[in-house]
Chains A and B, each alone.
Chain A
C-alpha cells in the first residue's frame, strides 16, 4: 500500500531557484494538503485542495503556488526560493468531507542556501 508518495525526499537549492514538490495519493481521497514543519512551530498549512479543481490558501501561503493536477496529484511550487523556506514539507490527504484523519507522506527535506 503506497498511500501518499512525495518526491523528492531531499533537495538543496540556491536562493532564487525554483522547484516543484510532487505529491500523489492512491486512496481515492478528495482532499489534499501541503504543510511545512519547522522546529518549535508544528505543522503549518500552506495550501489545501478540498476537491479536484479547487485550491485555497492556508496559514502561510506567501512564496508558494499549488496545482491540483487531478484527483491523485497535488504539487507545490516555489517560484523563487528563499532561505526562510528551508523546512520539511509534508503532503497529506483525507477521504470524505469532514472529521476524517489525514494520511501523510514521509516528507521532502528542503534546504535553501
Chain B
C-alpha cells in the first residue's frame, strides 16, 4: 500500500536557524514526489516536483532532495514568512491518485 509519513509534525525555529523536514514514502513505481506549502485558510501551493533519486530542486531558501525512500526539504536561514504547513505527496505508477502526508507545521520566530 502506498504511504507517506512526514516528520516532525511541528517545528519551531528562530529566524536564521536552518533545518530540514522529512518525507518518507512507500510507493510502487514512483512517478513523482511533490512538495507543497499551505498557509492558514488557503489551499496547498505547489513548490517542487522530484522524479528520481539523486534529484535536487531549489527555490530561494528552500531545497528539496530525493532518495529511493525519502525526501528532505531543507530550509536555509528561514524568515518568519516561511511559516506555513509543508505537505509532501507521491504518485505511483499507473494511477491518477496522489497520496499525501499529514504535513509539518513550521513556525519561524523573529
Listed in ascending order, the chain A residues whose CB lies under 8 Å from chain B are: 4, 31, 33, 35, 40-45, 48, 50, 56, 58, 90, 92, 94, 97-107
In the complex, which residues of chain B have a beta carbon less than 8 angstroms from the beta carbon of A103?
46
Do A42 and B102 touch (CB < 8 A)? yes
Q: How far is the CA of A43 from the CA of B98 in the complex (A)?
A: 10
Contact with A along B75-110 (1 / 0, CB 8 A): 000000000000101010000111011110000000
Do A101 and B46 touch (CB < 8 A)? yes
Instruction: Point out the residue from B41, B42, B98, B103 that lies within 8 Å of A102, measured CB to CB.
Output: B98
Interface size class of B (residues with CB under 8 A): 20 to 34
Q: How far is the CA of A3 from the CA of B91 in the complex (A)?
A: 22
In the complex, which residues of chain B have a beta carbon less than 8 angstroms from the beta carbon of A48?
96-97
In the complex, which residues of chain A have a beta carbon less than 8 angstroms from the beta carbon of B98?
33, 45, 102
Listed in ascending order, the chain B residues whose CB lies under 8 Å from chain A are: 31-32, 34, 36, 41-46, 49, 51, 87, 89, 91, 96-98, 100-103
Do A106 and B42 touch (CB < 8 A)? yes
How many whole Å from B47's CB to the nearest CB in chain A? Answer: 9
Q: How far is the CA of A33 from the CA of B98 in the complex (A)?
A: 10
* Shortest Cβ distance from B49 into A: residue: A101
In the complex, which residues of chain B have a beta carbon less than 8 angstroms from the beta carbon of A45?
97-98
* Shortest Cβ distance from A59 into B: residue: B97
Query: Contacts A40-B102, A42-B103: A106 and B96 contacting too (C-beta < 8 A)?
Result: no
Q: How far is the CA of A106 from the CA of B41 in the complex (A)?
A: 7
Q: How far is the CA of A66 from the CA of B26 in the complex (A)?
A: 29
Which of B34, B41, B44, B91: most chain A Cβ within 10 A? B44
Q: How far is the CA of A70 from the CA of B43 in the complex (A)?
A: 23
Q: How far is the CA of A35 from the CA of B32 in the complex (A)?
A: 19
Query: Contacts A42-B102, A99-B49, A101-B49: A50 and B96 contacting too (C-beta < 8 A)?
Result: yes
